[in-house]
Amino acid sequence: MFAKAWAWMTDLGNSKVLALLIFMPLFLAIVAWVYGNRRRSERLESYKYMPFLDEEPEGDQKGELK
Please answer whether residues 58 and 66 qualify as being in contact, where contact means their C-beta atoms are separated by less than 8 angstroms.
yes
Q: In this predicted structure, what is the pLDDT of residue 64?
A: 58
Q: In this predicted structure, what is the pLDDT of residue 58?
A: 65
* Domain ranges within the chain, ordered by starting residue: 2-49
Q: Answer whether residue 35 shows pLDDT above 70.
A: yes
Q: Answer whether residue 59 shows pLDDT above 70.
A: no
Q: Answer whether residue 63 shows pLDDT above 80.
A: no
20, 23, 29, 35 alpha-carbon torsion, rounded to 10°: -100
